[in-house]
Amino acid sequence: MQPISSLVAKLRRDFAQLTFVEADVSRWSAKTQTVYFAPHSPHAEWVLLHELGHACLQHADYRRDVELLAMERDAWEYATKTLTPKYNITIEPDFIEDHLDTYRDWLHAKSTCPRCTLTGVETSKQAYRCLGCQHVWNTNKGTQTRVRRYSRSSA
Ligand SMILES: [Zn+2]
Ligand SMILES: [Zn+2]
**Rounded mean pLDDT for each run of 10 residues along the chain, 155 residues in total:** 85 98 95 96 96 96 80 97 97 96 90 94 90 92 72 68
Q: Quickly count: other Cβ atoms within 10 Å of residue 52's Cβ.
A: 25
Q: What predicted TM-score, i.e. pTM, was given to this entire model?
A: 0.85
68 phi/psi in degrees, rounded to 5? -60, -45
Q: How far is the CA of 50 from the centre of ligand 1 (A)?
A: 6
Residue 2 is predicted with a pLDDT of 53
For the CA atoms of 112, 118, 121, 122, the dihedral, rounded to the nearest 10 degrees, stands at -20
Residue 28 is predicted with a pLDDT of 95
Q: Ion ligand 2 — residues with CB under 5 Å?
A: 113, 115-116, 118, 130, 132-133, 135
Q: How far is the CA of 147 from the centre of ligand 2 (A)?
A: 17
Domain spanning 4-107: which CATH class is it, in words?
mainly alpha
Where exactly are the structural domains of the chain? Answer: 4-107, 117-151
Q: How far is the CA of 135 from the centre of ligand 2 (A)?
A: 5
